[in-house]
Copies of this chain bind each other. A is one copy, B any other.
Amino acid sequence: MMISTRGRYAIRLMIDLAEHGTTDYIRLKDISERQDISQKYLESITTTLSKSGLIDGAHGKGGGYRLNRAPEEYTIGEILRTTEGSLAPVACLGCDAKKCERESVCRTLPMWEKLYNLVNDFFDSMTVADLMKQDAAAGFFGASL
């Protein structure tokens, strides 16, 4: 397992925001009902996204959340790295990497690094807008590779 519910819910939340609010603020309550995710759990995710500047929150009546940019300007990689911390496949890579003393003789490190790049490039190559466009039944992913 690599991507937890946090990251996956974050993506669904961003898509929901993109679909339902262009300029208006969207209440968490509505997103919670539409996406069938606990409002309390969503709160912890929006807090992270808001602090990182991905979304904008407004208090009080008429408040809620709103995207700060156009959907095509959010890469999935950015969303996942914000909510999951790092997409590193092993402990010796990524932001909170613990230095390994076998690093200089490690025969597998180059492999992990290559995969790390592969995964980052994969997620950075698609945006929230891309996921909106696709039809669930016959996604455009089916064709290529």
Contact = CB atoms under 8 A, between A and B. Distances in A.
A7 to B, nearest CB: 9
Number of identical protomers: 2
Interface residues of A, number: 42
Contacts of A15: 107
A102 B112 CA distance: 33
Interface stretch (A20-28, A39-47, A137-145): A137-145
A126 B111 contact: yes
Contacts of A142: 110
B89 A141 contact: no
Contacts of A140: 110
Most B CB within 10 A of own CB, among A91, A137, A141:
A141
